C-alpha cells in the first residue's frame, strides 16, 4: 500500500508510504489517496483529515521516473495531474502535517490542504525549474495566492528550498511544532477541530475558498447567506444553547435539520 490510513476518534490520518521513493507521488499513489479520502469525506464520523509522510520526508515530489519518458500527447491526453482537482474538492478540513522535505509535488500537496502544520525540520521548495519544467499541480497558482507574486516568482524561478522559519514568515506554514512528538501534537490539534460541528467546518472552508474566487462584495453576501442557512441545523441550536447554559457543546448532527 502506497498510503496507510488510520482513524483516531474523528480524525483520519493518511500517511504516504513509499519510503524507497521518498514518498514520491505516482499515479497509483494519487488514485489510492484520493479514492479513499472521498469515502472518508462523506462519513459523519470524520471531522478532520491529516496528510503526513515520514519523519524525514513528507513528500519529495511527483514521480519523475513515471514522467520522464512521456511526450506532450501522452501528458495532454491523460490530463496528467488532472485528478488532483478531485482532492481540492474535499469538503472536510484537511491538515498537512509536514516533517522533513516537502518539495515540488509534495509542496503542492501541502498547499492543497487547508492548514499546513510543520515540524522544526520541515523544508519546502518548488525545484521544477531545475528539471526544465514548471509546477504542474497548482504550484504557480496556490503559492502566488499564499505568499504574493514577488515571493512566488523568486521561489519558483530560482528553485531554491526554504527552511520552516521562512515558510512561516511568508505565510506558507500555519504553525510550527517541535519535532519531538510532532504527529501526536498534530493529531491533538486535529481532534480539537474535528469536535466542532462538521457542517459549520465545511461551511467555513467553503466560504474562505469562495473569497479567492469573487469580489469582496459578492463574498460578503455569500458568507451571510451561509451564516443564515446554519440556523436551520441542530448544531447551531446545540452550540448556542450550550453557550447560554455554560456547558460544552456536543456536535454530532451533520446535515440534520432541526425538528
**Residues annotated catalytic, as ranges:** 62, 105, 108, 128
Distance from C-alpha of 179 to C-alpha of 97, rounded to nearest angstrom: 11
46 burial via Cβ count (<10 Å: 0-12, 13-18, 19+): buried
Distance from C-alpha of 72 to C-alpha of 120, rounded to nearest angstrom: 39
| Structure-block grid coordinates of residue 217 | 462584495
Distance from C-alpha of 161 to C-alpha of 100, rounded to nearest angstrom: 12
Residue with cell 514518498: 23
With contact defined as beta carbons under 8 Å apart, do 81 and 43 qualify?
no
Of the candidates 34, 41, 32, the one whose C-alpha atom is nearest the C-alpha of residue 12 is 41
Eight-class DSSP state of 117:
E
Q: Which residues pair with 233 in a beta bridge?
A: 257
Longest dimension (CA), the chain: 65
Amino acid at each position: 500500500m502506497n498510503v496507510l490510513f488510520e482513524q483516531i476518534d474523528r480524525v483520519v490520518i493518511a500517511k504516504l508510504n513509499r519510503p524507497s521513493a521518498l514518498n514520491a507521488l505516482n499515479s497509483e499513489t494519487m488514485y489510492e489517496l484520493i479514492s479513499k479520502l472521498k469515502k472518508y469525506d462523506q462519513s459523519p464520523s470524520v471531522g478532520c483529515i491529516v496528510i503526513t509522510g515520514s519523519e524525514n520526508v513528507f513528500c519529495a515530489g511527483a514521480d519523475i521516473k513515471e514522467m520522464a519518458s512521456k511526450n506532450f500527447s501522452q501528458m495532454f491526453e491523460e490530463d496528467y495531474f488532472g485528478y488532483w482537482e478531485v482532492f481540492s474538492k474535499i469538503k472536510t478540513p484537511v491538515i498537512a502535517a509536514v516533517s522533513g522535505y516537502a518539495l515540488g509535488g509534495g509542496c503542492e500537496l501541502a498547499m492543497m490542504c487547508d492548514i499546513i502544520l510543520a515540524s522544526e525540520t520541515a523544508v519546502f521548495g518548488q525545484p521544477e525549474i531545475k528539471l526544465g519544467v514548471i509546477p504542474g499541480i497548482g504550484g504557480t497558482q496556490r503559492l502566488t495566492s499564499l505568499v504574493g507574486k514577488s515571493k512566488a516568482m523568486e521561489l519558483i524561478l530560482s528553485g531554491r528550498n526554504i527552511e520552516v522559519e521562512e515558510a512561516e514568515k511568508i505565510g506558507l506554514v500555519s504553525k510550527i511544532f517541535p519535532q519531538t512528538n510532532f504527529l501526536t501534537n498534530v493529531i491533538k490539534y486535529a481532534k480539537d477541530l474535528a469536535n466542532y460541528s462538521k457542517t459549520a467546518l465545511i461551511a467555513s472552508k467553503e466560504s474562505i475558498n469562495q473569497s479567492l474566487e469573487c469580489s469582496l462584495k459578492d463574498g460578503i453576501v455569500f458568507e451571510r447567506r451561509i451564516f443564515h442557512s446554519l440556523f436551520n441545523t441542530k448544531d447551531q441550536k446545540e452550540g448556542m444553547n450550550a453557550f447560554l447554559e455554560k456547558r460544552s457543546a456536543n456536535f454530532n448532527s451533520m446535515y440534520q435539520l432541526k425538528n
